[in-house]
A = this chain, B = another copy of it.
Amino acid sequence: MARPRTPLLDRERIGAAALQLLAEQGEFSVPQVARALGVQTGSLYHHVDGRAGVIELVRERVCAGIDGGTLAAEPWDGALEAWARSYRAAFAAYPRAIPLLMTTPVRAPAVLAQYEQAVALLLGAGFRAEQVMPLLTGLENLVLGSALDLAAPDAMWEPTPQTPLLAGALAAQGPGRAEAAFEVGLAAFLAYARDLRGGAEPGGEG
């Protein structure tokens, strides 16, 4: 068969297959993706830059759920808040992909473009350049940590008979609690950002 008249593979289907594997079993391998698409493992390498490239396709798919239009709203703090909520919802839809995406450098151009826009928002609001990344990474920690907590609240703890209090605290966790923690964390973050910005003029340079 060799080269088919119409390609068997494309980046869309590769990303979708990898994300589905992640959703089902919490991980994926390149051969598994190939198998799911009825193709040889090596064939993927004609479309994607190895496993890291597949991860970036997954990131693009998950992040496609984020409404980037929120970043164009005014005022700046309302835009940031709406973006954070949309960001969290997108990741909460694929909780088992979060660990993979949290520990992998962001290369996907579509995602970088959205962060570029977020940087522009903060600079336009009057923040200084050194203030921007701490704000964005702080917001990201809040969003991703909380999305993981929302969808997999006890994934990180294996209590034992020696830790009865911890076991009780885990059992007492209600689904609304992660929600509440996010709300207050977000409010605290926004209050901090407003305070940090002080009386800067919107669009000002210094």
Residues on A facing B (Cβ under 8 Å): 99, 102-103, 105-107, 109, 112-113, 115-116, 119-120, 123, 128-138, 140-142, 145-146, 149, 153, 155-160, 162-166, 168-174, 177-178, 180-181, 184-185, 188-189, 191-192, 196
Please tell me which one of the listed residues B102, B160, B172, B192 contacts residue A129 in the complex, with CB atoms under 8 A apart. B172
Once the chains bind, are B109 and A160 in contact (CB under 8 Å)? Answer: yes
A155 partner residues in chain B, CB cutoff 8 A: 105
**Nearest CB in chain B: distance from A106 CB, A:** 6
This protein's copies in its complex? 2
CB–CB B102/A103 < 8 A: yes
User: Could you tell me the distance in whole angstroms from the C-beta of A44 to the nearest C-beta in chain B?
Assistant: 21
Greatest chain B CB density within 10 A among A113, A130, A155 is at A130
Chain B residues with CB below 8 A from A138, complex form: 145, 181, 185
With contact pairs A103-B102, A105-B158, A158-B106 given, residues A153 and B180 touching in the complex (Cβ less than 8 Å): no
Least CB separation from A117: chain B residue: B165
Which residues of B are found within 8 Å of A181, using beta-carbon distances? 134-135, 137-138
CA distance in complex: A6, B66 (Å): 59
Shortest Cβ gap from A17 to chain B (Å) = 22
Given A138-B185, A145-B145, A162 contacting B113 (CB threshold 8 A)? yes
Q: Can you list 26 residue pairs at the A/B interface with Cβ under 8 Å?
A: A105-B155, A107-B158, A109-B160, A109-B162, A112-B160, A113-B162, A113-B163, A115-B157, A115-B166, A119-B163, A128-B172, A129-B168, A129-B169, A130-B177, A132-B172, A134-B181, A135-B181, A136-B169, A137-B181, A138-B185, A141-B141, A141-B145, A141-B146, A184-B196, A185-B189, A188-B192
